[in-house]
Amino acid sequence: MATKHILVIYPEVEITKIAVYRNTSLIFLKSIRHKPEETSAFQDVIGQLEYRTGLIIDELKNNQIDLGDIGVVMARGGLIKPLKSGVYQVNEAMLRDLKVGVMGVHATNLGGLIADKIASQLPDAKAYLADPVVVDELESIARVSGLPAIERSSIFHALNHKNVSREYAKSMNRSYDELKLIVVYIGSGGVSVGAHRNGKVVDVNQAFDGDGPFSMTRTGGLPVGPVIDLCYSGKYTREEMRKLVTEKGGIQAYLGTKSLNQVLTMIDNGDEQATFILDAMAYQIAKEIGAMATVLDCQADAILIMGPIMSSKVFTKMLTHRIDKIAPVSIYPVVNDLDSLAMNGLMILRGEAEVIEYL
């Protein structure tokens, strides 16, 4: 019997990444870019479902990928209900929550929706998510916010955190379940800093529209009083305020660009403001790492930092000189989410993964 292929779908705001694997071998890879003038035609990101699905199917057919060979469609997880780490088959309850945005609306919500739509057109395929961004393993004390009506929640780069932690543990001939780690993901969107104790993320900043360090496009935590004033200033609608926090803040708000390469070029050209703001971002990330160190009783085994920005010697120095006394630091500038999702798909095909029902 021929080995079934794994289709991986990874939607982002301006790009949809797709890949096809045969076992662990990558046989097709494509990043489909979405121009603003194309996506602006839709009322919201969920309205892009048919548009992005059609582009994916066209790319597969144009590159002679036999859709009948696909047995598993793995997608990047979206903002669904909080759940434990693991693999989930896309079902009606999940589709409903992805569409309504039960925990918020983001391009990641399209992952499960597109995967289900494609899998439903194939003769022998099912759609799955693995370690979506709403994995919640917070300890009770980490949920307390200071206001009973608001509870701290867990939205972070769970897939990346879990994979790099297991990779690091394996490299040290140890088990992830026995380590205390501070894990950092610095993405083009948010920055998440988590305290991992014995295989669980017991505390992590809410990296979508919540708290923590600012990033290339997100504000991170803000002083509450001025935010309240801004909300009632009459200048912004509710939706505009959300976009201000999640899409128009951070480096982009200060420097007018969300391109890391442009920021580094500005620094190379002697731009003092660009240097200062990038250092401020490193400063905030270092503070969050220090906070998570206290969660682990200042006994972290290692600090693991992921993200393309760590390819920059300038930024790496800005960050690591502030934290290298806390614990040994390991850097992972190349983060391959597609491979991570494909490995989960392979475990499904081999019957090695426990598939959890989403309720």
Per-residue pLDDT reduced to its tens digit, 152-189: 999 999 999 999 999 999 999 999 999 999 999 999 88
For β-strands 144-147 and 302-306, DSSP reports them as unpaired
E strand segments, 14-143: 15-22, 25-33, 70-75, 87-89, 126-130
Is the confidence at residue 195, as pLDDT, over 50?
Answer: yes
Average pLDDT over the chain, rounded to whole?
A: 95
Whole-angstrom distance, CA of residue 206 vs CA of residue 192: 7
78 close to 159: Cβ distance less than 8 angstroms: no
Listed in sequence order, the DSSP H helices in the chain are: 36-39, 49-62, 92-100, 109-119, 140-143, 158-171, 224-231, 238-246, 250-255, 260-268, 272-295, 313-323, 337-349
The closest of 278, 114, 302 to 197, measured between CA atoms, is 302
* Per-residue pLDDT at 205 exceeds 90: yes
pLDDT tens digits for 222-233? Answer: 999 999 999 999
- The confidence score (pLDDT) of residue 2 equals 60
pLDDT tens, position by position, 73-130: 999 988 999 999 999 999 999 999 999 999 888 899 999 999 999 999 998 899 999 9
What number of CA atoms fall less than 13 Å from residue 205's CA on the CB side?
A: 29
**What's the confidence (pLDDT) of residue 272?**
98
Query: Per DSSP, what are the bridge partners of residue 151?
Result: 144
Sort 274 into a burial class: Cβ within 10 Å, 0-12 / 13-18 / 19+.
Answer: buried
Residue 81: phi and psi, rounded to 5, are -70, 150
What's the token pair of residue 305?
Answer: 């930092």
**DSSP H or E segment with residue 183:** strand 180-186
Give the Cα separation of 44 and 46 in Å (integer): 6
The structure tokens 């009083």 sit at 225
Domains of the chain (ranges, CATH numbers) = 5-134+337-356 (3.30.420.40), 140-327 (3.30.420.40)
CA distance 171 to 142: 30
Q: How far apart are CA 227 and CA 144, in angstroms?
A: 21
